[in-house]
């Protein structure tokens, strides 16, 4: 074995330092996340039991639960997904497959701008166009507000995912006599499905943590609500209300509700991953 040249030794040392640095940064980032998650689990797990998951809220000292808020969050997410995903995906398809020229660039720019709009602005906007005319807060308005936040996120990720589909696949389908719309729906979209699902997931995860727009739209409720034109509870608003309250019991319940919210997001994530797993 020859002795290692000094130049090579320097290179190895630099390489080792950089490897260690990137490793440490990763540990730091993931570590903080893990600390947050475990602290929430630690604070929340104590108040968690079956009654807590199904009951509606009660006055301080009487226990009560967040069943109505869980249901409300699920309803709001379902509503916003029903409005937001088809619209967002359609815009993404337009940007990637259909549109060309200046108009498309303008649409893309607007979508990017919308992504950056603070969610409270969206809340106030929906308050003005839906809540005021309807004269009361409603689950419907909440769903619309969340959908407005989802659309630009879904549109851009869909566009990016569709652009990753090799052009040769489109040509292959066109060469078989497929019209444009069948190429898009039958070949390009399925090829990008798992990526689009990831984008949809990100959007759902993003809005499931939104509180501000819901304060102006769904408002919150202390009861089970089965009507979409009525105010509806949500985990985030419930957590907000309980966290700013002066009662220790409610603080504990807020922690538990946070744990439930995180589990809910995780659950949706796993289900969507499973449904859109790569089959081919």
Partner 1 sequence: MSGVAMTKMPAQTVAPKIEVRERQEPPAEKGTGKAKVAVRNLDFFYGRAQALHNISVEIPERIVMAFIGPSGCGKSTFLRTLNRMNDVIPATRVEGEVLIDDHNIYDVGTDVVELRRKVGMVFQKSNPFPKSIFENVAYGLRINRLTSSYSELEGRVEEALRDAALWSEVKDRLKTSALSLSGGQQQRLCIARALAIRPEVLLMDEPASALDPIATSKIEELVFDLKKQYTIVIVTHNMQQAARVSDTTAFFLLGKLIEVNSTEKMFTAPNEKLTEDYITGRFG
Burial tier of 5 (Cβ tally within 10 Å: 0-12, 13-18, 19+): exposed
Taking the CA atoms of the chain, what radius of gyration do you get in angstroms? 24
**Pick from 4, 13, 169, 275: which binds partner 1 (CB under 8 A)?**
169
Residue 182 binds to partner 1 (criterion: CB under 8 A): yes
| Short-list 179, 201, 208, CA closest to 275 | 201
- Sequence-distant (6+) residues with CB within 8 A of 228 are 75, 79, 138, 139, 140, 143
Q: How many CB atoms lie within 10 A of CB 52?
A: 18
**Pick from 100, 102, 135, 274: which binds partner 1 (CB under 8 A)?**
100
Helix (H, G, I), strand (E, B) or coil at 124: helix
| Short-list 92, 107, 100, CA closest to 162 | 92
**Pick from 176, 244, 270, 271: which binds partner 1 (CB under 8 A)?**
176
Nearest distance in Å: CB 58, partner 1: 53
Residue 179 binds to partner 1 (criterion: CB under 8 A): yes
**Pick from 31, 118, 190, 267: which binds partner 1 (CB under 8 A)?**
190
Residue 173 binds to partner 1 (criterion: CB under 8 A): yes
What distance in Å separates the CA atoms of residue 192 and residue 263, rounded to the nearest whole number? 27
**Pick from 9, 58, 117, 171: which binds partner 1 (CB under 8 A)?**
171
Helix 235-243, helix 67-93: angle, nearest 10: 130
Q: Which is nearer to partner 1, 274 or 280 (CB)?
A: 280
Residue 187 binds to partner 1 (criterion: CB under 8 A): yes
Q: Which is nearer to partner 1, 193 or 205 (CB)?
A: 193
**Given the rule CB under 8 A, which of 7-15, 21-29, 32-40, 178-186 is the region that contacts partner 1?**
178-186
Name the residues that contact partner 1, by CB under 8 A.
100, 166, 168-179, 182, 186-187, 190-191, 279-280
């Amino acid at each position: 074995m020859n002795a290692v040249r000094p130049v090579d030794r320097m290179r190895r040392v630099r390489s080792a330092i950089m490897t260690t640095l990137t490793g440490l940064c990763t540990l730091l980032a993931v570590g903080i996340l893990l600390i947050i998650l475990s602290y929430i689990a630690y604070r929340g797990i104590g108040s968690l039991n079956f009654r807590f998951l199904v009951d509606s809220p009660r006055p301080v000292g009487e226990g009560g639960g967040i069943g109505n808020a869980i249901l409300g969050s699920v309803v709001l997410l379902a509503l916003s997904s029903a409005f937001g995903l088809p619209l967002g995906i359609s815009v993404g398809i337009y940007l990637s497959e259909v549109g060309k020229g200046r108009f498309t660039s303008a649409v893309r720019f607007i979508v990017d701008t919308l992504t950056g709009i603070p969610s409270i602005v969206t809340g106030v906007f929906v308050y003005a166009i839906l809540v005021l005319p309807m004269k009361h807060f409603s689950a419907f308005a909440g769903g619309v507000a969340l959908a407005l936040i989802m659309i630009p996120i879904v549109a851009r990720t869909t566009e990016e995912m569709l652009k990753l589909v090799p052009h040769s696949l489109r040509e292959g389908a066109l060469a078989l006599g497929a019209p444009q719309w069948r190429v898009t729906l039958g070949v390009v979209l399925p090829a990008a499905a798992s990526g689009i699902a990831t984008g949809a997931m990100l959007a759902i995860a993003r809005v499931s943590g939104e509180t501000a727009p819901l304060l102006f739209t769904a408002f919150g409720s202390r009861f089970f609500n089965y009507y979409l034109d009525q105010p509806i509870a949500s985990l985030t608003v419930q957590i907000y209300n309980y966290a700013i309250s002066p009662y220790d019991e409610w603080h504990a319940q807020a922690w538990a509700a946070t744990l439930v919210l995180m589990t809910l997001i995780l659950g949706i994530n796993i289900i969507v991953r499973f449904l859109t797993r790569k089959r081919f």
